[in-house]
Amino acid sequence: MRFNGFHAAALGVLAVLGASPAAAKTISVSATTPDANEKLQEALILAEPGDIVQLGAGVWTLTDGLSLDVAGVTVRGAGAGEGGSILDFTGQQGAGEGLLVTSDDVLLTNFAVLNTKGDGIKSKGADRIVYHQLRVEWTAGPKETNGAYGIYPVESTDVLVDSVYVRGASDAGIYVGQSKNIIVRDSIATENVAGIEIENSYNADVHDNIATKNTGGILVFDLPSLPMQGGHNVRVFENIVNDNSTPNFAPKGNIVASVPTGTGVLVMANRNVEIFDNVFADNGTANVMIVGYRYEHKDPNYQPLPRAIVVRGNQHGKAGYAPKFPGGDMIAAAMGGAIPPVLWDGSGDAVVLDKVGVLSLNLPDVKTPQSEAKPAPADLSKGTPPAALPAITLPESMEAKVK
């Protein structure tokens, strides 16, 4: 059944048929159909489990955010690059994101979402979601007026982000929040404030990505006063994390506005995070930074310290030559022009087996202001790392979708 250029009458017939069971079908929608925004939204509403909503090639000029609430639907475009299916939200008038998915077992593949006013693509409570070969971009590059998150799964179990490209997010390019069992791989995050961020989440593998020219490349955070917290068991490995030199352009007040320009991987207040076999270079503040949550909070259940952090087997290029945290330039000058590639605020515990220097700010109590830092080299190589974390495996139904 093709929806290409269909008429209101045809829609009416379909609407009356409503939920009658039908074989899986492909619903094609054209970018040039009149009222394309409304027609595409209708297709997303009328799709049934198993259906494919096929986005025609071309530039879709959209004014209102789209949403999908039917389980088991695939939204497939003709490509994420030029000549593909480009959902252009430059003139967006409503909704907090370009596309919102709230159903399980959805595959999003081969299209682009550009210049949304808020987030790019958000999925909430959408288990087993697959983001594949997508592009989310703010085409004017880094600007504070860009939307916050590019790809934004939250409150979900089993999340796969595979082969996506995200550029220009004023918070995080790829942001996974309050979720469990996550893989982010083979993706490129560039010119965002945070390239990839795993926040308040359990069990994540972030691997084989390129995080370059962001403010901070890859962030693993835990924040207080949220429904799901106590982030743990995150592996960051075999990524290229280089030249994260874009000045921080996040709107003030957001936690990422505090990320120093030139940060490679930043771990804040998580436990059991492994950072291994990555290639780091040209991160002016630090290749790896390990810190506690140093803001005031009133959450008795919150654990603000980084614990059981392991750094091993990474390649370290040039780093620490332009540390953008308060007092960083003075410390660098005192140390001959650069600080070591691993920076620790002195809170919690970490094991660093890489043969590079570690600078501790010696602030074990997160309530101590940073102005009281007593920076000094630290040796974190003597500790015994905890048992290695197992690899994340996702349901076979998800992996089958990207084969």
Partner 1 sequence: MKRILAAVAATLLCASGGAAFAPPGVDQALVESDAMPPKLSAFGLFRGNDPGQPSTGVAYTLRAPLFSDYTEKHRFIAIPAGKKARVGSDGVIDFPVGTVLVKSFGWNDVGGGRPVETRLLIHRASGWVALPYIWDADGKDATLALGGRRVPVTFKSPDGETHSIRYAVPNKNQCKECHSLNGEIVPIGPKARNFILDPAASDAVRARYFENPAALKPTMPIWDDPKAGSVADRARAYLDVNCAHCHNPAGSASNSGLFLRWTDDPGGVNYGIGKRPTAAGRGSGGMDFAIAPGDPAHSFMIYRLESIDPGIAMPEVGRSTVHKEGAALLRQWIAEMPRGASN
Stretch that binds partner 1, among 94-102, 263-271, 281-289, 325-333 (CB under 8 A): 94-102
Closer by beta carbon to partner 1, 88 or else 354: 88
Burial of 148 (0-12, 13-18, 19+ CB in 10 A): buried
Is 299 a binder of partner 1 (CB under 8 A)? Answer: yes
Sole binder of partner 1 in the list 155, 205, 243, 345 (CB under 8 A)? 155
Size of the site for partner 1 (CB under 8 A): 64
Whole-angstrom CA distances from 300 to 173, 267, 297, 369, 393 are 31, 21, 9, 20, 33
Q: Please, what is the minimum distance in Å from the beta carbon of residue 117 to partner 1? A: 4
Q: Which long-range contacts (CB under 8 A, 24 or more apart) does 381-385 make?
A: 381/351, 381/352, 381/353, 383/349, 383/350, 383/351, 384/351, 385/308, 385/310, 385/312, 385/351, 385/353
Q: Please give the structure tokens belonging to residue 240.
A: 């290229």
Q: Please give the structure tokens belonging to residue 195.
A: 């390239």
Closer by beta carbon to partner 1, 36 or else 356: 36
Is 298 a binder of partner 1 (CB under 8 A)? Answer: yes
Closer by beta carbon to partner 1, 299 or else 329: 299
Contacting residues for 307 by C-beta, under 8 A, at least 6 apart: 270, 271, 272, 348, 349
Is 282 a binder of partner 1 (CB under 8 A)? Answer: no
Contacting residues for 82 by C-beta, under 8 A, at least 6 apart: none
Please report how the helices 8-17 and 36-46 are oriented relative to each other, as an axis angle in degrees rounded to 10.
Answer: 20
**Footprint on residues 64-93 left by partner 1 (CB under 8 A):** 64-65, 67-69, 92-93
Rounded distance between C-alpha atoms, residue 375 and residue 4, angstroms: 65
Closer by beta carbon to partner 1, 120 or else 260: 120
Q: Please, what is the minimum distance in Å from the beta carbon of residue 12 to partner 1? A: 4
Rounded distance between C-alpha atoms, residue 314 and residue 317, angstroms: 10
Q: Please give the structure tokens belonging to residue 121.
A: 């693509």
Q: Are 129 and 123 in contact (CB under 8 A)?
A: yes
Is 61 a binder of partner 1 (CB under 8 A)? Answer: no
Q: Please, what is the minimum distance in Å from the beta carbon of residue 47 to partner 1? A: 11
Closer by beta carbon to partner 1, 105 or else 282: 105
- Count the Cβ atoms, other than its own, within 10 Å of residue 346: 21
Closer by beta carbon to partner 1, 228 or else 402: 228
Is 116 a binder of partner 1 (CB under 8 A)? Answer: yes
Stretch that binds partner 1, among 174-182, 367-375, 378-386, 391-399 (CB under 8 A): 174-182
Is 279 a binder of partner 1 (CB under 8 A)? Answer: no
Contacting residues for 387 by C-beta, under 8 A, at least 6 apart: none
Is 37 a binder of partner 1 (CB under 8 A)? Answer: yes
Rounded distance between C-alpha atoms, residue 95 and residue 117, angstroms: 9
Q: Phi and psi (nearest 5°) for 43? A: -60, -40
Sole binder of partner 1 in the list 39, 135, 271, 316 (CB under 8 A)? 39
Sole binder of partner 1 in the list 157, 254, 362, 368 (CB under 8 A)? 254
Sole binder of partner 1 in the list 32, 225, 381, 393 (CB under 8 A)? 225
Rounded distance between C-alpha atoms, residue 119 and residue 97, angstroms: 4
**Footprint on residues 354-383 left by partner 1 (CB under 8 A):** none
Stretch that binds partner 1, among 38-46, 202-210, 331-339, 367-375 (CB under 8 A): 38-46
Is 94 a binder of partner 1 (CB under 8 A)? Answer: yes
Which residues here bind partner 1, judged by CB under 8 A? 8, 11-12, 15-16, 18-20, 37-42, 44-46, 63-65, 67-69, 92-96, 100, 102, 116-119, 124-125, 144-145, 147-149, 152, 154-155, 170-171, 175, 177-178, 223, 225-228, 251-255, 295-299
